[in-house]
A and B are shown apart, each in its own frame.
Chain A
Amino acid sequence: MSKRILGIVSILMVLSVLLVACGPKPYECTDSIGCVTVAPDEPVHIAYAMVIAGPDATLGIDSRNGAELAVDDHGGKVLDHAIKFDGEDDGCSAEGGQAAGTKLAADPTIVAILGTSCSSAVRVAMPLWSAAGFTVISASNTAVDLTLAGNENQHPGYLRTAHSDAVQGKAAAEFAYNKMGFRKAATIHDGSIYAEQLQQVFADNFTALGGTITAQESVDPNQTDMSGVLTSIASGAPEIIYHPIFIQAGTQIVRQARTTSGLENVALMGADGMFSPDVVEGAGDAVEGVFVSSPDFTTFGPDYEAKFLPAYQAKFGSAPLSIFHAHAYDAMNMVLACVEKVTVKDNDGTLHIPRQGLRDCMYATKDFKGLTGNLTCTPTGDCADPKIAVYEYHAGEYPPTKIWP
């Protein structure tokens, strides 16, 4: 009796084991920080965190436009899933970064984030996003420390297609010293890490070349009256003022420097944060002869002129508003390429995207043919192929004209 029961039980057991083996094997996520599962009818969610409102909005909106064009080039789909591209305003500030960071970090459907626009924002947001397992790639953060190995502001999962300011500040110093022959310079920053580090890189390189820094001043990003700071700078009689800040305060400096006694003929130079039609509008006639450093658009591949710009014009009805649209386009393409590479797709169309796998794939990017050059990422996420040029503004004209190198 007991023998029969035992026999039946053992037969059942063998059958059940066989059944399990024959049925579809569920995907098992072996990724060290987890996977994103996308059901067959769900979109792949890529978020942005860029400055899309306020006085610096052109910077973020321009990058978002670039990324949207990359999505369009993929027909709005990756691995037959729609791409959902939405996001938050980073406010171009630490406060904005905190808000956008917290909100996005709470959304587990997000695979990757494009952003932020400003280094101040990502410095606060990145610890949250890194812990949430996101891959983050910025098209316009240029602060040096973000990709500097062993630095408290360098976090796993962070990459950028923008150039580091170590490159931009050096180029600006070389332009001022070698090309223009200036020997005395003053700098102004606005307390943001972007501006503070950039002016420091400039100052270090300018001093190393043999020049003198007469003052390193700072202003508030919302400040309108610059008379105090400009008078202070004028007392050192510099030949050039380097003010790598943003549009609102930057245009006021340009306007008021011209009417400050002792600074009537001083050269003014901004950085990529002041490369915008708003500068021409905001500074009026005073913009004549102002220098600005920026990525060198003439070195962008032939597709930039032939395909990207017309597509931008057609979709958004204007020429690019700022300078990081191509970097954002490349960033989005890199993310989509890696998503295609590492994702495991079930027969029913369900996607499993391993988070660490995606990061590894991004960091391993080598010779990626982008608009901004051949992108190769360092282990800390510096992916840019940086070529910096200096442009000169003329009253009522945008874009400014390239004068160096």
Chain B
Amino acid sequence: MLKRWRQTVTWTDIVVWAIGVAIGIAIIVGTIRTWQAGQYTAEQWINLTISGLKLGSIYALIALGYTLVYGILRMINFAHSEVFMSGPFTAVFLAKYLDSIGFYNTYPLISLILITLLSAGVSITIALLLERVAYRRLRFAPRLVPLITAIGASFFLQYTFRGFYGNDIETYPNFDFLKGTWTIGSIAIPKTDLLVIVSGFMMMLILYGVVQRTKTGKAMRAVSEDKEVAALMGIDVDRIIVFTFGLGGASAGVAGILYALIYQNVHFYMGFIPGLKAFTAAVLGGIGNVVGAWLGGTLLGLIESLGPNLFLQGLGIPAANQLKDGIAFTILVFILIFRPSGLLGERISKTKA
């Protein structure tokens, strides 16, 4: 037994495990010390949790795009962060126009639907263009080739949109009906946050339903299992791939509007960091898995929001909040080491393109 153990475990494993354990202890010690210090009230923890959930919902919606495309094509579509940026950065001009003619706050629901449709429409268009122009010809190329193409496409899109709309930060006008808070029990939740959290969850359910319950979803799963056999069974593989990109684009476009409702400011570079985080979330949840993407996004948002105040501050680290991205990416590294398939594993089995 011991001998077998000694044969299979390498020094690298031991070092990695030791680091993992050390980080675990640091987290526990930090958390205990923060609780003992009692610096924050329960209300503040609840607020941080809500803010983590809303951030997580946005990561989750973007992560769905990564996950769907990965499930089908086994490629990371790194230009997806620009699909996310293109929608809200275009719809902001419609929102501003509606605001200037006074329509925006007179018919807020219609306005919200209009800008969401425009945002989703633009994001879908960009996603489909990407698929047609950048990826389709490379479908049978080695895996590294479409990956690098994706990075190139990402820069191309960023600077194209900068060319269209300029460098400046554009700002969404506020919806009056989203100001203030709703009180559930004794907890006051900002209306915008609740809207974002609920829409994120709904969107995940819808996508899950599409993949698991519809005929097209069945075809998607078939294509992801084996493209050739799926084609033999009469499935139009191209059409399914286009549909998948469209679905990812739509969820990115909706995510963009939710992002804009919270943070208001949009600019050509806005997709980069959320895109990276969403990719982390997708890997965390298990890439290729719709529920996993939502779970990963939500967890990541929570960790980012609670982490610095919860355990870094307890460890006496000054200015802990600037390390929140550090926490997120440390998690990514550790998942890749300890559980490469993510929390919910990779649903679609072994076949590699």
CB of B273 within 8 A of chain A? yes
For chain A, give the interface size range.
Answer: 35 or more
CB of A235 within 8 A of chain B? yes
Chain A interface SS verdict (over half): mixed
Measured in the bound complex, the distance between the Cα atoms of B319 and A216 in whole Å is: 7
> B263 and A224: CB pair below 8 A?
yes
Measured in the bound complex, the distance between the Cα atoms of B309 and A217 in whole Å is: 12
With both chains docked as a complex, state the minimum distance between the C-beta of B48 and any C-beta of chain A, in angstroms.
Answer: 6
CB of B12 within 8 A of chain A? no
> A231 and B174: CB pair below 8 A?
no
> B269 and A54: CB pair below 8 A?
yes
Contact pattern, B 32-45, Cβ under 8 Å of A = 1, otherwise 0: 00000001100110
**Given A227-B47, A247-B169, A284-B171, A232-B321 contact (CB < 8 Å):** yes
Chain B residues with a Cβ closer than 8 Å to the other chain, count: 39
Contact pattern, B 305-342, Cβ under 8 Å of A = 1, otherwise 0: 11011000100001111101100000000000000000
Contact pattern, A 213-224, Cβ under 8 Å of B = 1, otherwise 0: 000111110111
Chain A residues whose C-beta falls within 8 Å of the C-beta of B40 in the assembled complex:
231, 235
Q: Which of B169, B174, B190, B308 contacts A228 (CB 8 A)?
A: B308
Chain A residues whose C-beta falls within 8 Å of the C-beta of B125 in the assembled complex:
none
Chain B residues whose C-beta falls within 8 Å of the C-beta of A392 in the assembled complex:
none
With both chains docked as a complex, state the minimum distance between the C-beta of B317 and any C-beta of chain A, in angstroms.
Answer: 11
**Given A57-B167, A285-B174, A231-B48 contact (CB < 8 Å):** yes
Measured in the bound complex, the distance between the Cα atoms of B329 and A209 in whole Å is: 41
**Given A232-B313, A234-B44, A55-B269 contact (CB < 8 Å):** yes
Chain B residues whose C-beta falls within 8 Å of the C-beta of A251 in the assembled complex:
169, 265
Chain A residues whose C-beta falls within 8 Å of the C-beta of B321 in the assembled complex:
217-219, 228-229, 232
Measured in the bound complex, the distance between the Cα atoms of B173 and A224 in whole Å is: 17
CB of A397 within 8 A of chain B? no
CB of B267 within 8 A of chain A? yes
> A218 and B265: CB pair below 8 A?
no
CB of B289 within 8 A of chain A? no
Chain B residues whose C-beta falls within 8 Å of the C-beta of A234 in the assembled complex:
44
Where the two chains meet, the residues of A that have a C-beta atom closer than 8 Å to any C-beta of B are: 53-55, 57, 189-191, 216-220, 222-225, 227-229, 231-232, 234-235, 247-248, 251-252, 255, 259-262, 278, 281-282, 284-285
For the complex of A and B, 8 pairs with smallest distance between CB atoms: A227-B51, A229-B321, A218-B319, A218-B322, A235-B39, A228-B321, A224-B263, A57-B167
